[in-house]
Amino acid sequence: MSKYQDHVRRSLEGQNAEPSDELGTDAMRWTPDPVNADVTAEALRTAADAAHMLLERAADAYVSLVNGVLGDGTHHMVASASTPHGALIEVQELTVAGDDLAINEAVSVRLCAVIAAAMTKHGTGGLVIRTFAPDGSESVRGWRIRGLWLRPLTAQEIQQAYTVNHVTGAQLEAEPGVEYRQAERVPRPNQARTSGASASTAPQNNRPPSRRN
Q: Report the alpha-carbon angle 213-100-107, nearest 5.
A: 55
Q: What is the pLDDT of residue 37?
A: 54
Residue ranges of the chain with pLDDT lower than 50?
Answer: 1-5, 7-9, 11-35, 191-213
Q: List, for residues 1-33, the tens digit of each pLDDT value.
A: 444 445 444 544 444 444 344 444 443 333 334
The secondary structure of the chain, three-state, reads CCHHHHHHHHHHCCCCCCHHHCCCCHHHCCCCCCCCCCCCHHHHHHHHHHHHHHHHHHHHHHHHHHHHCCCCEEEEEEEEEEECCEEEEEEEEEEEECCEEECCHHHHHHHHHHHHHHCCCCCEEEEEEEEECCCCCEEEEEEEEECCEEEECCHHHHHHHHHECCCCCCECCCCCCEEECCCCCCCCCCCCCECCECCCCCCHHHCCCCCCC
Q: What per-residue confidence (pLDDT) applies to 75?
A: 97
Q: Tell me what pLDDT residue 41 has.
A: 76
| Confidence (pLDDT) at 191 | 43
> pLDDT of 136-160, one tens digit each?
999 999 999 998 999 999 999 999 9
CB atoms within 10 A of CB 75: 20
